[in-house]
């Protein structure tokens, strides 16, 4: 079964809209409480993305979530994602999450807009990947579903890639034929990654509608979903929505 990692950034976004912002267990809504609800519903992964401006998840949040997840090590994976800035690398080395997803960050962006370009200088990133993995954390590289960036990610020594799925989501919104054509593009990307020895993650704009087809992607290890789950949870409840997504990822459900 494909692992579902719930991105809880938007819980912190809502909390941070109040001036009396606090962290982890005491803020409202609490990111730790949201984490617990996701796990109780069956999610096997939690994702956070502490950004430089701390507009949602903060470094303090990341530490409190790590403490909450520590007794579940080996059962629930903790994925910290973000750019290779020193304070975030220090946090990853300190907390030793199960996975660190390297994501390029553009100044002023609201959310990730693309994967790493294949012409990004590799030497410094390769050394960083080696350092993080030697510390016990698997590294995944956020890339577009194209040959060049996937091969570039493999050259860094990373264990996985995360395929940027916004293009697939846009194709799905156009129509079934466009969705199937885009999906086949991702099939080729995932197959190449597998041939290069990389595990395959995916994320960005996946939802209950487009996930049903995408869950059949060969070699898919994990999907990271946040915005859609939290948006639907406003009406249906977080635990119930997480369970619906888990059902979509179950091979038995898709038969």
* Catalytic positions: 49, 81, 204
Whether 193 and 187 have beta carbons less than 8 Å apart is answered as: no
Beta carbons of 137 and 98 less than 8 angstroms apart: yes
Q: Among 152, 232, 136, 158, which residue's Cα sits nearest to residue 189?
A: 152
CA–CA dist 207, 30 (Å, integer): 23
Region for 162 from its dihedrals, namely left if φ exceeds 0, alpha if ψ lies in -120 to 50, beta otherwise:
beta
- Quick count: other Cβ atoms within 10 Å of Cβ 146? 18
């Amino acid at each position: 079964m494909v692992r579902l990692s719930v991105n809880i950034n938007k819980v912190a976004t809502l909390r941070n809209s109040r001036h009396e912002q606090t962290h982890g267990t005491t803020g409202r809504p609490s990111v730790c409480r949201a984490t617990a609800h996701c796990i109780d519903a069956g999610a096997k992964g939690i994702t956070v993305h502490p950004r430089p401006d701390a507009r949602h998840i903060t470094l303090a949040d990341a530490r409190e979530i790590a403490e909450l997840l520590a007794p579940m090590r080996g059962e629930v994976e903790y994925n910290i994602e973000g750019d290779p800035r020193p304070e975030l690398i220090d946090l990853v080395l300190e907390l030793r999450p199960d996975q660190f997803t390297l994501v390029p960050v553009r100044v002023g962006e609201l959310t990730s807009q693309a994967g790493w370009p294949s012409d990004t200088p590799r030497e410094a990133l390769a050394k960083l990947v080696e350092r993080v993995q030697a510390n016990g954390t698997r590294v995944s590289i956020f890339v577009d579903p194209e040959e060049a960036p996937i091969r570039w990610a493999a050259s860094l020594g990373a264990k996985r890639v995360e395929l940027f799925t916004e293009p697939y989501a846009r194709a799905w919104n156009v129509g079934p034929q466009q969705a199937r054509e885009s999906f086949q593009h991702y099939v080729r990307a995932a197959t190449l990654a597998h041939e290069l020895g990389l595990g395959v993650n995916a994320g960005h704009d996946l939802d209950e509608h487009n996930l049903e087809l995408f869950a059949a992607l060969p070699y898919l290890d994990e999907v990271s979903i946040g915005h859609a789950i939290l948006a639907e949870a406003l009406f249906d409840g977080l635990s119930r929505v997480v369970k619906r997504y888990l059902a979509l990822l179950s091979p038995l459900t898709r038969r």
